[in-house]
Amino acid sequence: MPEPRIGIVVDSTCDVPPDWPYRDRLHVIPVHIHFQDETLREGVDITEDAFYARVLREGQIPKTSQPNPEEFAQFYRSLAHQYDTLISIHVTARLSGTYRSAQAAAAAVKDVIQVHVFDSGGGSAGMGFMADEALRMIDAGASARAILDRLATIRQRLQIFLTPKDLTFARMSGRVSALGAFIASMLHIVPIIVLVDGELIARERARSRKKALKQMVAMMQAQLGEGPANIAMVHAQAPDDLAYFQELVLNAFQPQVFWTTSLSISIASHLGPGTIGIVGYRTE
């Protein structure tokens, strides 16, 4: 009996590098971005540059929403001619209803195609690393069960730290008050956002941009310890800091896989351009 053909689905909060070799085998369902009466699909109808320019021009952070169950069901059905089984990896259910929409759709299409829906516990390059390992395992002949077990291990080990350049977008999105943002900017306080149990929480603070970048690397070192790791730098239009941050990261780690990738619009929209972060996990 032939092995089942396994495909990988993600939502558009997943981040991978532009030159990632599996890009044409990753099936991406877009998150919706709502500007007042206009709904756009992330990665399809709007670019990063256009998104940030529009937000700054209009002075409002758009709302985001997950694909609804029927959209997911149509997406899954469209892949049934290529695959027998799908592993559908999504942004943490703590931050979005995407996972629940995917679950409802998986039940609706069970007579057409088998879909395993997996909560990544995070998003961004964390999901990207999961997709990367899943596709490598498919090429090695692994079963869906073995892949899901590996994804669960990555989720348990995954660490994500982010820091915004300033609090302009956080203030507009309601994440901090206008007064709080003003005081923080006057005192040059830079927050560090940490992934904790599937939620992004402002856990640490630094007194400058460079100190925040150094602190994120130290925090990642403390969490990962010794041993091999996969590491990604993620950013939202922060080219000026990338060289310095990369030097910090590569002095601290000798990663098996090292990525630099843009941060998805739907995640970065609440923190703004200039946001930079580090994503990593122990591979053994």
Q: Model-level pTM?
A: 0.91
| Residue from 201, 236, 232, 251 nearest 129 by CA | 232
Q: From 3.40.1350.10, 3.40.50.300, 3.30.1180.10, 3.40.50.12780, which CATH number describes the 159-282 domain?
A: 3.30.1180.10
The predicted model gives 52-78 an average pLDDT of 90
Q: How far is CA 279 from CA 63, 137, 235, 257, 276, in A?
A: 25, 21, 11, 11, 10
Amino acid 93: pLDDT: 86
Q: What is the DSSP letter of 97?
A: S
Checking if the pLDDT of 86 tops 70, the result is: yes
Amino acid 53: pLDDT: 86
pLDDT per position as a tens digit, 191-203:
888 877 767 777 7
| Residue from 76, 118, 115 nearest 99 by CA | 118
Amino acid 8: pLDDT: 99
Q: Tell me what percent of the residues of the chain surpass a pLDDT of 90.
A: 64
Amino acid 188: pLDDT: 60
Q: Let me know if the fold of 6-31+66-156 is the same as that of 159-282.
A: no
Amino acid 204: pLDDT: 76
Amino acid 56: pLDDT: 79
**Nearest 5°: CA angle at 149, between 145 and 152?**
140
Amino acid making up residue 163? T
| Domain boundaries of the chain, sorted by first residue | 6-31+66-156, 159-282
Q: Label residue 171 by pLDDT band (50, 70, 90).
A: low
Q: How far is CA 226 from CA 26, 136, 252, in A?
A: 31, 24, 10
pLDDT per position as a tens digit, 208-245:
889 999 999 999 999 998 889 999 999 998 888 999 99
Pairing of strands 229-235, 276-282: antiparallel
Amino acid 42: pLDDT: 92
- Decide which of 147 and 207 is more confident: 147
Amino acid 272: pLDDT: 81
Give CA–CA dist 253/195, Å, rounded.
Answer: 20
Q: Is 162 helix (H, G, I), strand (E, B) or coil?
A: strand
- Considering the domain 6-31+66-156 in this protein, what is its CATH number? 3.40.50.10170
